[in-house]
Amino acid sequence: MEQILAPVVFNRHLTGDYWLLEVEAPNVAAALRPGQFVNIRIEGSMSPYLRRPFSVYRVSTDRRRLQVAYKIIGEGTRLMKETMPADGRCDVIGPLGHGFSLPTNARRIAVIGRGIGIAALPTLVDEAAMRGIEVHAYLSARTRDNLVAEDIFAAYGFPVFTHTDEQATGGLVTDPLVKLSQTMQFDAFYVCGSNRLARAIHGIATAQGVPAEIAMEQHMACGFGDCHGCVIKINTDRDNLEESALREVCFHGPVFNTWEVLHA
């Protein structure tokens, strides 16, 4: 983990409500594992006072630059959009947290994301592709222009199923996956951006007897376990949901097993 004033390569509109920031941060990019995140602050500004956490969306092939796809939510992301021009600098700490685990013998996985939660998945899919693992992607968003990363996953030739609320067909993006999983075995499932989807994925993974992981989002300050500002209750025994403990999302997560965070 390091803190760096990273030169901004570009900061441009991505699609819908989302922006894409690329910075030069060679040590962070080189060390980053899929599912880890960075904690960002606007250089020289006291507003917002606390850093804002973001998944790393992509890492360049030379592993010198990293991208963050972000949704404009409040003061911090509005200022990121307005005050981080190309040739400016961005105060970055990272890589932070524990990311996804990709089983060594995995042959086929499924990734499932909703909205800007999808931003946690491309680094995982990049690694899976590099290892020759087949990926099935299920992406959902409110509107078509708020779907991200479809092009990234499709460029690998992986099947991508999309679903938007405006299609108004009802159901979940995971419905076709439920059907497919009756005839096709997966080695792991990864979900981000929706507890409802996480619950559906947990059911499929349990039926197949394989792990499912979820990348959690929680308000946080330091990002490395010091301030205890992002503590959540997690299950510590899969077979006895009475057993629980408090854990920092930033340090013990943001990736957890679905059974750890889905409470009955």
Ligand X SMILES: Cc1cc2nc3c(=O)[nH]c(=O)nc-3n(C[C@H](O)[C@H](O)[C@H](O)COP(=O)(O)OP(=O)(O)OC[C@H]3O[C@@H](n4cnc5c(N)ncnc54)[C@H](O)[C@@H]3O)c2cc1C
CB 162 within 8 A of CB 140: yes
Residue 247: CB minimum distance to ligand X, A:
14
Q: Residue 119: name the closest of 256, 254, 260 by CA.
A: 254
Cβ atoms within 10 Å of 33's Cβ, excluding its own: 17
Q: Biggest alpha carbon distance in the chain?
A: 55
Compute the least distance from the CB of residue 3 to ligand X, in Å.
Answer: 17
Residue 70 touching ligand X (CB under 6 A)? yes
Residue 115: alpha-carbon gap to chain centroid = 10
Q: In what order do the strands lie in the sheet with 212-215?
A: 160-164, 134-141, 108-114, 188-192, 212-215, 255-257
The reply to whether 251 sits near ligand X by the rule CB under 6 A is: no
Residue 159 is a binding residue for ligand X (CB under 6 A): no
Contact (CB, 8 A) for 153 and 125: yes
Q: Is 42 one of the binding residues for ligand X (CB under 6 A)?
A: no
Binding-site member from 119, 121, 137, 231 for ligand X (CB under 6 A):
119
63 vs 81, which CB is nearer to ligand X?
Answer: 81
- Residue from 76, 94, 113, 193 touching ligand X (CB under 6 A): that is 76
Does 255 bind ligand X (CB under 6 A)? Our answer is no
Sole window of 25-33, 45-53, 106-114, 180-188 interacting with ligand X (rule: CB under 6 A): 45-53
Nearest-CB residue to ligand X? Answer: 74
Least distance between ligand X and beta carbon 36 (Å): 9
Among the candidate windows 72-80, 84-92, 133-141, 234-242, which touches ligand X by CB under 6 A? 72-80
> How far is the CA of 116 from the CAs of 52, 184, 185, 217, 260, in angstroms?
15, 28, 28, 11, 22
Query: Is residue 225 part of the contact set for ligand X (CB under 6 A)?
Result: no
- What DSSP designation does 82 have? H
Q: How far apart are CA 208 and CA 184, in angstroms?
A: 9
- Assess 218 for contact with ligand X (CB under 6 A): yes
92 touches ligand X by CB under 6 A: no
Q: How far apart are CA 4 and CA 6, in angstroms?
A: 5
- Using CB under 6 A as the criterion, which residues of the chain lie in contact with ligand X when the complex forms? 37, 48, 52-55, 68-71, 73-77, 116, 119, 217-220, 254
